[in-house]
Amino acid sequence: MDLLRTYADEIASSLSGILEFNEVVKLIEQPKYSTQGDIAFPCFTLAKLLKKSPVEIAKDLAQKVSHPFFEKVVAEGPYVNCFYNKTVVSLKTIKTVLHKRTEYGSSDMGQSKVVTLDFSSPNIAKPFSMGHLRSTVIGNSLANISEKCGFQTVRINHLGDWGTQFGKLIAAYKAWGKEADVKNEPISELLKLYVKFHEKAEADPALENSARLWFKKLEDGDEEARKLWEWFRNESLQEFAKIYKLLDIDFDSYNGEAFYNDKMNEIVKLLEEKQLLVKSNGADIVDLSNYNLSPLLIRKSDGATLYGTRDLAAAVFRKRNYQFDKSFYVVGQEQTLHFKQLFFVLEKLGYEWANDMIHVPFGFILKHGKKMSTRKGTVVLLEQVIKEAIGLAEKNIAEKSPTLAFKDEVAKMVGVGAIIFHDLKNERQNNIEFSLSEMLKFEGATGPYVQYAHARARSILTKSGIDSYHLNPVGLNDDYSWPIVKLLLAFPEIIAKSFDHAEPSQIAKYLILLAQEFNTYYSHVKILNEDLEQEGRLALVQAVTIVLKEGLRLLGVKAPEKM
Ligand code: ARG
């Protein structure tokens, strides 16, 4: 039920062709105050077209427009204000939600077309940082939202398992590493070696050279280099797997950079054939000065390939393999230039699908206002953060609901949910100040707050003892249920918007509003009161649980039945 379109349709038909339906839709506004109705149509455009006073036009239109969904349509100055019929609209809305359940808000906008989403993509032999968390949770949520909008998704973890940093790591390991130490504590030992390399390399340029040589050996298939690389890679993957398990996030492909080793030749050849490859100080580059961009480096002077070379090969591979309609890269905004270069090189190669490539950037996680750096060793380890969050949730539960069943499960849902929600409630381009205490707050605009509203609503339904699957909605027209009904009504539109803007925060913010309105309702209305409208109120409560749970699912957050 789309009331805005119904209103637009009524207006357009009473204008008999002066303005088309689509033009009317665009003009319709949300009035500033609820006393001015639910939606309003301003008459300025019509006034210009008809050379008549907008006030006159508004008066005239208000008389013509009517529909069972609308209680009244009144002119106020140059506006035609529309008030929904609360009884009719609430009945219809609640009925729809209860009927469609988890399908409520789904659409076939995507027509089963494929979207690939490149997200998370951490780097081997480095810790999974808070920075990668952003990509992971935003990417996962966008994938969920895409599916909700009718797309097929391919979730790709483009692991950073290749590149000159492996030369550095091997050089550092050869210089200072001890096998037993790495076996014992792989990630932190490898990180130490990596940090040490950068400290020492400042004073000793020979180290950089040794790193370069080791990477070249690796690319040429040298056995020792290869073995060390594989070892580091396996250890890292096992660490990452723990985090994905905690977050309950999965991928369709873990093809990382190394996967494209034997797929880059084709691209380099093609660039040569099209005369796009230019020599510059011994290196091969693609000139992008016509786009006002610095060139994309394809091959270093020693023949070693680069991050961008592998991304070119990956893009072509994905188009062939998945025939995507859109290809998203959920990667921090510091890589904006890289993706511009990448997409323009694909365009230069003549691939018209270069237009379907989309970089979805996001802001930094700052610590005391500064960026975190793996090299300087100032990163916060995500696994620790998650475990602390779960610990805090456990403590909370032990205090508030000591008799709760499945305590550990619930603590995990709440702790992990707090972390994910804390990230996704921010518009993705904003920087986020990293603060464990903020992240773990269980009140205010937080994940646990929304989860709690859901659990509270569930428990009312359980308490009611009425078979919750066959509730009969009734029309509600009181002041406390109406804001909830309006929010329920808006859910499909919120999902579409969050897809259009690749912005899960729209859903997160919406859920906070819905949870707040529900809590207000709960504290003002006696829901369990045996009168004629009890079943109607319970139906509303059930609709709220459905939408809260489904909204949280789209964000990648679980909704426990009890908390
Ligand atoms: N591993 C990279 C990093 O941590 C991100 C890779 C993003 N995906 C890509 N296709 N470039 O910075």
Q: How far is the CA of 213 from the centre of ligand 1 (A)?
A: 23
Candidates 1.10.10.60, 2.60.40.10, 3.40.50.10490, 1.10.730.10; CATH matching 382-555: 1.10.730.10
Q: How close is the Cα of 121 to the center of ligand 1, in Å?
A: 5
* Angstrom distance (rounded) from CA 4 to CA 75: 17
Say how many Å lie between the CA of residue 162 and the centre of ligand 1.
11
Q: Probe ligand 1: pick from 159, 331, 340, max atoms within 8 Å of CB?
A: 331
Q: Determine the distance separating the centroid of ligand 1 and the alpha carbon of 285, expressed in angstroms.
A: 20
pLDDT in tens, 186-196: 888 998 999 99
Tens digit of each residue's pLDDT (9 = 90 or more) over 432-470: 887 767 777 778 899 999 999 999 999 999 999 886 678
The pLDDT value given to residue 505: 98
- Does residue 376 surpass a pLDDT of 80? no
**Residues 71-82, mean pLDDT to the nearest whole number:** 97
Burial 179-198 (b: 16+ CB within 10 A, else e): eeebeeebbebbbbbbbbbb
Residue 431 has pLDDT above 70, yes or no: yes
Q: What pLDDT band is residue 272 in, cutting at 50, 70 and 90?
A: very high
Q: Compute the average pLDDT of residues 280-295.
A: 97
For the question of an ipTM over 0.90, the answer is yes
User: What is the reported pLDDT for 49?
Assistant: 95
Q: How far is the CA of 158 from the centre of ligand 1 (A)?
A: 6
Spacing, Cα 215 to ligand 1 middle (Å): 19
pLDDT of amino acid 380? 62
pLDDT at 130: 80
Tokens of 76: 């106020």
Tracing tokens 């009473």 back to the chain, one arrives at 14
Q: Please report the pLDDT score of residue 373 as a whole number.
A: 62
Ranges of each domain in the chain: 3-84, 382-555
Relative to the CA of 123, which ligand 1 atom is closest? 1
Least confident range from 127-136, 268-277, 409-418, 445-454: namely 127-136
Q: Looking at domain 3-84, which of 2.10.70.10, 3.40.800.20, 3.30.1360.70, 3.40.190.80 is its CATH number?
A: 3.30.1360.70
pLDDT in tens, 26-56: 999 999 998 999 999 999 999 999 999 999 9
pLDDT at residue number 368? 81
Q: What is the pLDDT of residue 435?
A: 77
Share of the chain above pLDDT 90, in %: 85
pLDDT of residue 370: 80
For 204, the token pair is 């000793």
| Minimum-distance ligand 1 atom for the alpha carbon of 131 | 4
Reported as a single tens digit per residue, the pLDDT across 294-334 is: 999 999 998 888 999 999 999 999 999 999 999 999 999 99
Residue 189 Cβ contacting ligand 1 at under 6 Å: no
- The per-residue pLDDT for 378 is 54
Helix and strand tally (H, E) in the chain? Answer: 21, 13
> Does position 504 have pLDDT exceeding 80, yes or no?
yes
Q: What percent of the chain has pLDDT over 70?
A: 98
User: Does 329 contact ligand 1 (Cβ within 6 A)?
Assistant: yes
Q: What is the pLDDT of residue 185?
A: 87
- Rounded Cα distance between 82 and 89, Å, is 13
Helix (H) or strand (E) holding 524, with range, is helix 505-524
State which of 133, 155, 158 you would mutate to test the pocket of ligand 1, scoring each by most atoms of that ligand within 8 A of its C-beta.
158
CA distance linking residue 312 with residue 292, whole number of Å:
20
Encode pLDDT of 91-125 as tens digits.
Answer: 999 999 999 999 999 999 999 999 999 999 999 98
The reported pLDDT for the residue numbered 250 is 96
| Nearest atom (ligand 1) to Cα of 342 | 11
Residue 79, pLDDT above cutoff 80: yes
> Rounded to an integer, what is the distance from CA 518 to the centroid of its chain?
25
pLDDT at residue number 437:
74
Residue 365: half-sphere exposure toward Cβ, Cα within 13 Å:
22
Q: Are 466 and 538 in contact (CB under 8 A)?
A: yes
State the average pLDDT over residues 13-18: 92
Ligand 1 centroid to Cα of residue 59, in Å, is 59
Q: How many CB atoms lie within 10 A of CB 69?
A: 17
Q: What does the mean pLDDT of the chain come to?
A: 94
Nearest protein Cα to ligand 1, atom 8? 158
Q: Is the CB of 165 under 6 A from ligand 1?
A: no
Q: How far apart are CA 131 and CA 381, in angstroms?
A: 10
